[in-house]
Amino acid sequence: MQDSFTARAGDWAEVPRRIRAGLHLPEPWESQFGGLRQASPGKCLAVGQLGQSLDGRIATLSGHAQYINGAEGLAHLHRLRAVVDAVVVGAGTVRADDPQLTVRHVSGPSPARVVIDPRGSLPATARAFAADGIRRLAITREDAPPPPAGVEALRLPLTDGIFSPSAILDALAALGLRRVLIEGGAWTLSHFLSAGCLHRLHVVVAPVIMGSGIAGLTLPPIDRMNEALRVPMRAHSLGDEVLFDCDLSAHAPQQRGKPVP
| Binding interface with ligand NAP (CB under 6 A) | 50-51, 58-59, 63, 65, 68, 89-93, 96-97, 116-119, 121, 162-163, 165, 183-188, 191, 214
Q: Which is nearer to ligand NAP, 39 or 87 (CB)?
A: 87
Q: Pick the closest to residue 157 from 171, 142, 144 (CA basis).
A: 142
Minimum Å gap between C-beta 106 and ligand NAP is: 17
Minimum Å gap between C-beta 177 and ligand NAP is: 16
Q: Which is nearer to ligand NAP, 25 or 137 (CB)?
A: 137
Q: Which is nearer to ligand NAP, 30 or 98 (CB)?
A: 98
Q: Which is nearer to ligand NAP, 28 or 165 (CB)?
A: 165
Contact 208, 60 (CB under 8 A): no
Minimum Å gap between C-beta 64 and ligand NAP is: 7
Q: How far apart are CA 111 and CA 132, in angstroms?
A: 12
Minimum Å gap between C-beta 219 and ligand NAP is: 13
Minimum Å gap between C-beta 105 and ligand NAP is: 15
Q: How far apart are CA 70 and CA 204, in angstroms?
A: 10
Question: What letter represents residue 138's amino acid?
Answer: A
Minimum Å gap between C-beta 117 and ligand NAP is: 6
Q: Which is nearer to ligand NAP, 117 or 245 (CB)?
A: 117
- Could you tell me the strand order of the sheet in which 241-247 lies? 2-3, 233-238, 241-247, 200-205, 45-52, 179-184, 86-90, 112-116, 136-140, 152-155
Q: How far apart are CA 162 and CA 156, in angstroms?
A: 10
Q: Which is nearer to ligand NAP, 15 or 204 (CB)?
A: 204
Beta strands in the chain (DSSP E): 2-3, 45-52, 57-59, 86-90, 112-116, 136-140, 152-155, 179-184, 200-205, 214-215, 233-238, 241-247
Q: Where are the alpha helices (DSSP H) in 24-145?
A: 29-33, 71-83, 91-97
